[in-house]
């Protein structure tokens, strides 16, 4: 597929890794960037199932070989953005650290993705998403009073990690193109996930948030912002925070909103929640969808990812696409003039070496 999107012409060099850095590279590719992966010689790919590796080309390089290392440096000299997700110090030991890279390419944006950050007492310790969001307070704020609820790896790896790395390298690219000055972007999941907690810090400053889990407006404690089980064992979600939306929910369901008001103070939440739980268990999920979906009652069924792909709203917007037999999410966000596009399935590691070297190393 011919590249298209707002990042068409931007050259990104990705040193293959796990989790958030590949997801960031995937997003940049979806927006039209020419993303080249540096894979290890002899690596075996996952084929079309490797959704995080979609839309780029691959060059296999043995970075312990001096000639291959020099090839990597020449590719760095041609890149606009470099992405790496290794522990602090690994790229330096390979001879590809920021000092060498920026000497060869002064306008390079050098994006570094880690969990703990490039410095600090934990910088060199192993960890994963669940550990990083634990330290930020994000995990401790989710779930019921008995136990935190793990939000997949969305809050750490992808929300607090990849999204902030992408935001950072594009901001730095804007600066580099205006001034010719490259720089290092230190994207740490503990930083990003903490930033995502801005709303909780704001509510806490207003006296509307407690450190106690399962006792707050947006963590499932409020009867008007939570999930309920239906008669068929499926679940629905409601979230009418505004008085007029709550009034509509009560009107449509017959719930007594006068007896159980949507009070943000927390008064009566537990009792109202029990009453609503009894009400929603009287009908199936589909019955509640027929009554409430599409209204301003702030309602949605709780779907599996398979059910989501079949929902009429998601179908009409084309949220899910199929590439080489693998269902996945389409590029986001959407652009009116320069729409992005998936540039193909994951490459076979090393398969594009000759084409990439011809494109990137014209000399």
Q: Is 184 helix (H, G, I), strand (E, B) or coil?
A: strand
128, 175, 234, 311: which is the annotated catalytic residue? 128
- State how far the Cα of 252 lies from the Cα of 263, in Å rounded to an integer: 19
Q: Which residues contact 67 (CB under 8 A, 6 or more apart)?
A: none
- Taken in order 26, 28, 29, 30, the sign of the CA dihedral is positive
What are the backbone angles phi and psi of residue 346, rounded to the nearest 5°? -60, 140
Tally Cβ neighbours within 10 Å of residue 117: 17
Q: Is 327 helix (H, G, I), strand (E, B) or coil?
A: strand
In total, the chain counts a number of residues equal to 363
Reply yes or no on whether 157 is catalytic: yes
CA–CA distances in Å: residue 224 to residues 116, 146, 232: 36, 21, 21
Give Rg (Cα) of the chain. 24
**Helices marked H in 121-268 — which ranges?**
129-136, 163-179, 189-195, 198-205, 243-253
Whose tokens are 């060498």? That residue is 100
- State how far the Cα of 15 lies from the Cα of 347, in Å rounded to an integer: 14
Longest CA span, the chain:
78
30, 129, 157, 191: which is the annotated catalytic residue? 157
- State how far the Cα of 55 lies from the Cα of 35, in Å rounded to an integer: 8
Give the bridge partners for 109, in sequence order. 81, 183
Reply yes or no on whether 129 is catalytic: no
**Helices marked H in the chain — which ranges?**
20-30, 66-78, 90-94, 98-104, 129-136, 163-179, 189-195, 198-205, 243-253, 269-280, 285-292, 305-310, 312-317, 353-360
Active site residues: 128, 157
């Amino acid at each position: 597929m011919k590249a298209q999107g707002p990042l068409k012409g931007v050259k990104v060099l990705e040193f293959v890794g796990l989790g958030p850095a590949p997801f960031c590279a995937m997003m940049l590719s979806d927006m039209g960037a020419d993303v080249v992966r540096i894979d290890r010689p002899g690596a075996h790919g996952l084929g079309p199932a490797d959704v995080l590796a979609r839309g780029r080309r691959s060059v296999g390089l043995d970075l312990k070989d001096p000639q291959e290392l020099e090839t990597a440096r020449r590719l760095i000299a041609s890149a606009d953005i470099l992405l790496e997700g290794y522990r602090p110090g690994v790229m330096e030991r390979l001879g590809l650290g920021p000092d060498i890279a920026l000497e060869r390419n002064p306008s390079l944006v050098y994006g570094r993705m880690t969990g703990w950050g490039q410095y600090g007492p934990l910088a060199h310790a192993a960890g994963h998403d669940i550990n990083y969001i634990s330290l930020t307070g994000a995990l401790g704020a989710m779930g019921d009073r008995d136990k935190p609820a793990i939000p997949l790896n969305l809050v750490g790896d992808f929300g607090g990690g990849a999204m902030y790395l992408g935001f950072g390298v594009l901001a730095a690219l804007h600066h580099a193109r205006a001034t010719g000055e490259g720089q290092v972007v230190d994207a740490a999941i503990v930083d990003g996930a903490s930033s995502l907690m801005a709303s909780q810090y704001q509510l806490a400053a207003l006296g509307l948030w407690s450190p106690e889990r399962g006792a707050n407006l947006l963590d499932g404690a409020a009867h008007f912002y939570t999930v309920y089980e239906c008669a068929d064992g499926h679940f629905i979600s409601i979230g009418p925070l505004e008085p007029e939306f709550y009034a509509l929910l009560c009107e449509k369901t017959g719930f007594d909103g006068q007896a159980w008001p949507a009070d943000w103070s927390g008064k009566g939440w537990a009792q109202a929640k029990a009453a609503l739980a009894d009400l929603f268990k009287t009908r199936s999920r589909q019955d509640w969808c027929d009554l409430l979906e599409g209204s301003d009652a702030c309602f949605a069924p709780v779907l599996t990812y398979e059910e989501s792909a079949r929902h009429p709203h998601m179908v009409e917007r084309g949220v899910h696409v199929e590439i080489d037999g693998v269902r996945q999410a389409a590029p986001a966000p959407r652009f009116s003039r320069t729409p992005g596009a998936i540039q193909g399935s994951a490459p076979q590691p090393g398969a594009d070496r000759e084409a990439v070297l011809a494109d990137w190393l014209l000399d």
